[in-house]
Amino acid sequence: MTVGPTQPLDAEALEVFARKGQEGGPAVPQAGPANGVKVRRVMQITGDLARRPFGQLRILDLGCGEGVYAIEAGLRGAEVVAVDARSQRMELGAACARRHGLDKVRFVQDDVRRLTRREWGDFDVVYLLGLLYHFDTPDVFGVLDNVVELCANLLVVDTLISPTAQSQATWRGQSFGGQRVREHEDADSEEVRRARVLRSIDNAFSFRFTRESLLRALRAVGFTSILECAVPFEPGKAEDRITLAAVKGEPVQVSSYPWVNGKSEEEIAAMLRDGGGTKT
């Protein structure tokens, strides 16, 4: 059985979403209509892993832009709060929601670094799509802390990663490898920075995790299972971009190998390397 939206979108909305990402020029992969494969993947992950039908979900879409993910989830009956620090593209999504009677889809201009559970409550699903790699340290870690607080079950991350650890960031006594990438020139004004809708809102540099460091950071904030998505396929996806589904649960205890219980990942790795203690 194929599960689709409850209603079609009008021509104006389809035109808006067909232009998504094209501000970055022809070098941006999966821009415009090609972004459809990414939307399909995120909706499939949500439908498969969120544990409940869309109509029972409360979803937070961070860095929503035009709001295509928020609109798609809203068409399926979800309550959605879509947040972006910029209003330019978000206004197009809000207009689309109004025209289609999506009263449960709300667009809010705010900085994701300031969102708290006390103000917004928690969400069954959080989308962190095309946003994490625009933060520098230490903000990138603060965002992950905020996300795990806001997320009751499932986080979907789509982000650029660094293939090598060219620099290191220290957080909570751990070192995370990645790469610092320039977003703006130091002398660029706030107005200029805000006008670049495909870059950070203010910071001149951003930090891109390596795959391994991103997994460790997500585990450190409290996600218990982290899965990398390969299907649905995304033809044309950049080689340095990945989609992760992180689940917030309770750590399991095992009876068959009790030596692993109550130990950190680092302790387990060390014991396996040393070959000691694994029989008790």
Q: What is the pLDDT of residue 277?
A: 58
Residue 71 is which amino acid?
A: I
Q: What is the pLDDT of residue 2?
A: 67
Sheet with 167-171, side-by-side order of all strands? 167-171, 174-182, 205-209
In the three-class reduction of DSSP (H, G, I as helix; E, B as strand; rest coil), residue 8 is classed as coil
Dist. CA 171–CA 176, nearest whole Å: 8
Between strands 123-129 and 151-160, the pairing is parallel
Q: What is the pLDDT of residue 126?
A: 98
Q: What is the pLDDT of residue 279?
A: 57
Write the pLDDT tens digit of every residue in 134-162.
999 999 999 999 999 999 999 999 999 99
Question: What is the DSSP annotation of 90-151?
Answer: HHHHHHHHHHTT-TTEEEEE--GGG--HHHH--EEEEEEES-GGG--TTHHHHHHHHHHHHE
Sign of CA dihedral 41, 46, 48, 54: negative
What is the Cα 112 distance to its own chain's centre? 12
Residues of the chain with pLDDT under 50: none
Q: What is the pLDDT of residue 143?
A: 97
Terminal Cα distance for the chain, rounded: 48
What is the Cα 144 distance to its own chain's centre? 10
Write the pLDDT tens digit of every residue in 209-257.
999 999 999 999 999 999 999 999 999 999 999 999 999 999 999 999 9
Q: What is the pLDDT of residue 280?
A: 52
For domain 11-249, which architecture applies? 3-Layer(aba) Sandwich (3.40)
Looking at residue 188, the DSSP 8-state letter turns out to be -
Between strands 123-129 and 58-62, the pairing is parallel
Q: Which residue ranges make up each domain of the chain?
A: 11-249, 253-280
What is the Cα 21 distance to its own chain's centre? 17
